[in-house]
Amino acid sequence: MAINKVMVIGAGQMGAGIAQVFAQAGLSVILNDLDQQALDKGIDGIKKRLERAVEKDRISEPEKNKTLDLLSGTTDMNDASNCDLVVEAVVENMDIKTKVFKSLDEITPEHAILASNTSSLPITEIAAATDRPSQVIGMHFMNPVPVMKLVEIIRAIQTSDETYQAIEDLTKKINKSPVEVEDFPGFVSNRILMPMINEAIYTVHEGVASPEDVDTVMKLGMNHPMGPLTLADFIGLDTCLYIMEVLHEGFGDSKYRPCPLLRKYVKAGWLGKKSGRGFYSYE
């Protein structure tokens, strides 16, 4: 199936990044958000990233202009009525996601594929909210999207081979590396990453070492480009807690129990970089 026109729902950091890479690959892209201010911010962010890429000679001025010509914004989800693919990138909340997918099921053409950028929620449950479950799939992009090469492609139990192949081909077309993943809590990336971050938080909680020293050990000893606690602040401690809760509930295994210190920081509003304070101060 040919995918030429795409809508991305949610103009936050992930959604705007996804829209950018689609447009840079020559696809016609509509970026959607219910909030006009969020939509404007998302499009402005794309423009700034492209301008920086021109300044650094990564792309040419004509390439930047062509990408922007392929990009449009809307606050009306009904504009997905002639799209071949819709990628949802809204908040990690199952009720909200299923409402979005039910609406898209009614709006989009029969052939359209509906994808979710969820980092942890079951694609099988999302697919069941539609009348086209065989055309529902997960496309989990990594942050920051324009830089990171990986896309986890998550099969729901209902996903057809044709849908999977179309999304794998598209992922290669946008210059990303696809990895096929079955629908389990946390998929591969967060099933491995989040328990590591959680264990790093336990190490601080138990007084074994400071956040700075934990990060230094992982950077210098394990050659990680960023320490796990710096990374947790970058992701958002509320997001880390949420994914750990999904893992804990999904597997029923105590090894996924969120660290009490993580819960305490979230309750305090110390969410990391976005709030100005997490394991480090960003004020």
189 is catalytic: no
Q: Residue 138: beta bridge partners?
A: 116, 154
**Is residue 88 within 8 Å of residue 121, measured between CB atoms?**
no
212 is catalytic: no
What span, in angstroms and rounded, lies between the C-alpha atoms of 271 and 9?
24
Say which amino acid occupies 79. Answer: D
Whether residue 134 contacts residue 110, with contact meaning beta carbons closer than 8 Å, is answered with: no
Sign, Cα dihedral of 189, 195, 199, 204: positive
Whether 152 is catalytic is yes
Binding site for NAD(+), by residue number, is 10-15, 33, 92, 97, 119, 143, 274
Residues at the annotated binding site? 10-15, 33, 92, 97, 119, 143, 274
CA distances from 227 to 48, 98, 220, 223 (A): 27, 35, 9, 9
Which residue in 119, 120, 198, 275 is the catalytic one? Answer: 119
Name the catalytic one among 120, 190, 198, 275.
190
Six token digits for residue 57 = 């000679």
- 124: its two tokens: 């099988």
Residues marked active site are found at 119, 140, 152, 190
